Chain A
Amino acid sequence: MIFGIDIMAGIVGWGAYIPKYRITAEEIAKVQHADADAIKEGLGLTEKSVPGKDEDTATISVAAAKNALARAGINKKEIGAVYVGSESHPYAVKPTSSIVGEALDIGNSYTALDTQFACKAGSATIQINAGLVDSGMVKYGLSVGADTSQAEPGNALEYSAAAGGAAFIIGTNKEAVATIDFTCSFTSDTPDFWRRALQPYPAHAGRFTGEPAYFKHVVGATKMILEKSKMQMTDFKYVVFHMPNGKFPLRAAKIFGVTKEQITPGLIVTKIGNTYSGSSILGLTCVLDIAKPGDKILVTSYGSGSGSDSFILTATEKIIEAQKKAKKTEDYVARKEYLSYPEYESHMEQIHK
């Protein structure tokens, strides 16, 4: 990838959305005849978000995008591109992005695309929009990453596969609440986690998903961006790594000497699980919700198959006002209603039917 230097683009508005339903690790462990404490300790998880019966990736995307629009305060008809990244698009063929464009009433003068690259389907669209804005092809681009992830009953992924999403309006540096200073990607063909077209649930390669997959790419992209930007970990107020569970991002943090203070604000996985295409970017919304002008942020996503997108952002003066204009990620985290396992199954069955 031609490394992004002097990109004249940034985040103009951001928004999160997390469904209110939750199921605890204990509830799932009861059904799996497993030791809940061992699972919680081993995976660094407590409970996960569950979509409502009439929620899906499209509705989550719209809700997050509305929050992003509220913060951006732009003329929505000037959105020239809409990209929605997910691994649980409601349709295999029929775009989610046009549903989002229509629901937001942005007119017809936009390009739209659905993307897929496991958990980094959303973060990659930020790069696309940054490029479009930087080249002057669009004034604003909407990037969304959202998922209502599927997990096979009885599988370990059941504890982590959650629902949620984040949206970003990308515009020029001048209007940004956070400038995108650098971005790069580390990609290889590494089949650690996959789902064939007509299969309901994904499969994964066990321990192979660790070192040769997640860590190789997250570390690879992060190293790359630090080298090219000539920055050090100590320069960042906040650091966000993709969160498939509560352990991997902490291990990545250890590798780079990232402190607890830097990593904890974005570590949303411990409260709501892994929202897949929403994961690292919801970590970003958590951080944008509290960042002060001048704060530098490093985000590295990860998508199985595999690749990582890394971003270096700087919060601007405009961020303070924008923070007040929509619900914070924390507000969605705090809003919860617990489900029993049969209720959870019924929710998942309903939306994936």
Chain B
Amino acid sequence: MKVGVLGIGITKFGEIWDRGLRELLLDSQLRALNDAKLTPQEIDSLFTGNMCGDSLSGQLHVGAIAAENLNINKPSVRVEGACASGSLALRQGIAAIESGSAKIVMVNGVEKMTDVSTEQVTTALMGAGDEELEGFNGLTFPGLYSLLAKAYINEYGLSRETLAEVSVKNHFHGARNDYSQFKNELTVDDVIDATMVADPLTLMDCSPITDGAATIILANEEVAKKMNSEVYITGSGLATDTLSLARRKTLLKLQAGFDAREMAYAQAGINVKDVSFAEVHDCFSIAEIYAVEALGFAKQGKAGELYSSKQTYFDGKCPINTSGGLKACGHPVGATGIKQAIEATMQLRGTAGKRQVPNAKIGVTHNVGGSGATACVHVFKRK
């Protein structure tokens, strides 16, 4: 498979008080069109990832907004898969191109989260979990991931300090990323001493509440060649698992990530040794540990070693989350999957500035829905 990237556009991620859902989306859409040097009329189809438009802004039908924003009436749908909404929209866009039903596709991700209280956001996000088994019984997402963390730590002895290195590294990268929400660097003590949220996860182990939008424009191989596209998507994988943690076979790995990775790597014809960097789903620090093992960078239970030996920095052996991840870059839920695709594109184009991975050839993105019920992996390659 070879789907070309024509253009990328992303808003600043953060507390964007003066913009609502549609303005954020319009911003990234226009930036991407500008980068691709395309007019809206040249887009055949649009896919927009968004999870909480209805619960936090009273707005469903976001697909219609994406088209209206550009004053076009092309096919446009909203795609939802909790926090994986962005990458699922990407996969839908790729499928449209691969099926021949579209030549040029605009894929967006957008989320507006800061107009409501933290309590309302926490409730809305629990829609990504199992309402009957988890939400109804009082669990929230920090709680779910703290259960995972406890199981993992109990089995593999991951230390509190090593787990803290995940956020330290992500903030280091975030400080070097113009569009990230947080630009402050952290120490291990900053992470450990922060307010406890759900033991052992402190505030500094948890991704924040963020507004933001991101857009990527894709084309089939023929069009991409003509437009001198530098980056191609060569693999896409999607897998699911049980919605609730209670029904999983094990809590020590997020199996959907492994399955999606196998699918994507097989389609791209690569194995983990070929990968220059990865953007993974660190909704909580422990989730990055799980992600790194799912993508094959470390054996089961051993991911911590990459962090205690500081190998996951942009210039290290195994660069992970040069964007700053969800923790430092921010996590506007529907936009995250597209942000990952954009960061991958920037790295492969060589435009990642102070966080540029040297000689980046192949990048992987890994986006998860809920506590692992959905995992979506894509492989990006430099031309």
Contact = CB atoms under 8 A, between A and B. Distances in A.
A136 interface: no
Interface stretch (A169-177, A206-214, A322-330): A206-214
B195 A206 contact: no
Contacts of B18: 212
B118 A211 contact: no
A207 B114 CA distance: 8
B120 to A, nearest CB: 10
A245 to B, nearest CB: 17
Interface string A154-172: 0000000000000000000
Given A206-B118, A207-B114, A208-B114, A38 B15 contact: no
A208 B118 contact: no
A206 B117 contact: yes
B17 interface: yes
A38 B115 CA distance: 26
A207 B118 CA distance: 9
Contacts of B115: 208
B184 to A, nearest CB: 15
Given A206-B117, A206-B118, A211 B195 contact: no
Nearest to B117: A206
Nearest to B118: A206
A181 to B, nearest CB: 34
Nearest to A203: B117
Contacts of B114: 207-208
B117 A211 contact: no
A164 to B, nearest CB: 29
A81 to B, nearest CB: 38
Contacts of A212: 17-18
A211 B118 CA distance: 17
Contacts of A207: 15, 114
* Overall SS of chain A's interface: helix
A211 B17 CA distance: 9
Contacts, number: 13
A38 B195 contact: yes
Contacts of B195: 38
Nearest to B18: A212
* Overall SS of chain B's interface: loop
Nearest to A204: B117
Contacts of A206: 117-118
Interface in B91-143: 114-115, 117-118
Interface in A182-222: 205-208, 211-212
Interface in A24-39: 38
Nearest to B119: A206
B196 to A, nearest CB: 9
A38 B202 CA distance: 14
B162 to A, nearest CB: 25
Interface in B271-300: none
A208 B211 CA distance: 13
A211 B16 CA distance: 11
A38 B195 CA distance: 8
A32 to B, nearest CB: 14
A216 to B, nearest CB: 9
Interface string B17-34: 110000000000000000
A219 to B, nearest CB: 15
B244 to A, nearest CB: 29
Interface string A18-51: 0000000000000000000010000000000000
A85 B117 CA distance: 29
A283 B115 CA distance: 32
B224 to A, nearest CB: 42
Interface in A205-250: 205-208, 211-212
Contacts of A38: 195
Q: Which of B17, B18, B195 counts the most A-chain CB atoms under 10 A from its CB?
A: B17
A306 to B, nearest CB: 13
B117 to A, nearest CB: 5
Nearest to A206: B117
A207 B115 CA distance: 9
A202 to B, nearest CB: 14
Nearest to A210: B15
A28 B43 CA distance: 59
Q: Which of B18, B115, B117, B118 counts the most A-chain CB atoms under 10 A from its CB?
A: B117
A208 B118 CA distance: 11
A55 to B, nearest CB: 33
A205 B117 CA distance: 7
Nearest to A190: B17
Nearest to A35: B195
B202 to A, nearest CB: 12
B57 to A, nearest CB: 15
Contacts of B118: 206
Contacts of B117: 205-206
A208 B17 CA distance: 8
Nearest to A38: B195
Nearest to A216: B17
Contacts of A211: 15, 17
Interface string A310-341: 00000000000000000000000000000000
A83 to B, nearest CB: 33
A38 B18 CA distance: 31
B201 to A, nearest CB: 16
Nearest to B15: A207
Interface string B178-219: 000000000000000001000000000000000000000000
A212 to B, nearest CB: 4
A237 B380 CA distance: 61
A59 to B, nearest CB: 35
Interface of B: 15, 17-18, 114-115, 117-118, 195
Given A208-B17, A212-B18, 5 more contacts: A206-B118, A207-B15, A208-B115, A211-B15, A211-B17
- What are the 4 tightest A-B residue pairs by CB atom distance, in nearest-first order? A212-B17, A206-B117, A207-B15, A206-B118
13 contacts: A38-B195, A205-B117, A206-B117, A206-B118, A207-B15, A207-B114, A208-B17, A208-B114, A208-B115, A211-B15, A211-B17, A212-B17, A212-B18
Interface of A: 38, 205-208, 211-212
